[in-house]
Amino acid sequence: MSGADRSHAAGTAPDQDPGRAAVASAYQRFEPRAYLRNNYAPPRGDLSSPDGVGPWKLRCLAQTFATGEVSGRTLIDIGSGPTIYQLLSACAHFEDITMTDFLEVNRQELGLWLREEPGAFNWSVYSQHVCLVEGKGESYQEKERQLRARVKRILPIDVHQHQPLGTGSLAPLPADALVSAFCLEAVSPDLASFQRALDHITTLLRPEGHLLLIGALEESWYLAGEARLAVVPVCEEDVREALMRSGYEVRDLRTYIMPAHLRTGVDDVKGIFFAWAQKKVGL
């Protein structure tokens, strides 16, 4: 989890905004494998302790999907980065899943895992942990087969555009639900840009649809190989206010404080937030 785990990806194309152009330029040096090593290998990738950041995120997602309220036919993962863990609980509840990322290298990394190609990152520890948390008696192989079958496409995205998926998108719109992990704060030069990006992705969601948002608290930078990437620091109240301004009812908002032994020098993250929000009717 760069800065905790950033799905850092949905970046921005160079345009009239120099801040966003700088973000896009910096992400051209993003190294997916370095990011995965920093955040999904031990110590952050150690799922054996219930107090770890990995188990906390997976538990938040599993518990929310277990309510049965977040379901439908279509789900879009906004700024997937090179990771798939954020969809392991979702895939039982949506039959058509779209993954997205600004960077081609991240889309390629996702493709390796989805096609079960040699050299793909091994997510089996995460899949096993989700099966354990959900307690349905499902094997991790079954879980992974279901996710692979339900991801229908991997598309480019730019959350700083009014139409983040572009015109004539191949994704069915509007979606019944959105998931986004470590994306918006990682590609926004300031809070105003973070708010606009949230507004933009909200247009992809149907009224009364659900958004599950995970991100870094009070982080200003993270490393992904040679890339040192800027992050807009946000606090819990910033997240709550941004969601409300974008027309959501905040159903749940939890925070996790990053323990000292997981502050490994790959970022300056202080904690993680998990938000479950529902889009209001008429927006």
The DSSP element (H or E) to which 277 belongs, if any, is: strand 271-279
* Contact yes or no for 207/242 (Cβ under 8 A): no
Specify the 3-state DSSP secondary structure of 76: strand
Q: Which residues pair with 252 in a beta bridge?
A: 276
Q: Hey, CA dihedral for 32, 36, 39, 43, is it positive or negative?
A: negative
Fill in the amino acid letter for 226: E
CA nearest neighbour of 228 among 183, 195, 268: 268
* Residue with tokens 């979606």, as numbered in its chain: 175
Query: Which positions make up the binding site?
Result: 35, 40, 79-80, 85, 101, 106, 158-159
One DSSP character per residue, 74-85 reads: EEEEET-TT--G
Provide the 10 A C-beta neighbour count for residue 156: 17
Binding positions for S-adenosyl-L-methionine are 35, 40, 79-80, 85, 101, 106, 158-159
CA distances from 222 to 51, 105, 259, 274 (A): 22, 18, 17, 19
The three-state secondary structure class of 120 is coil
Residue 194 CA: distances (Å) to CA of 18, 35, 117, 179, 198? 15, 22, 35, 16, 6
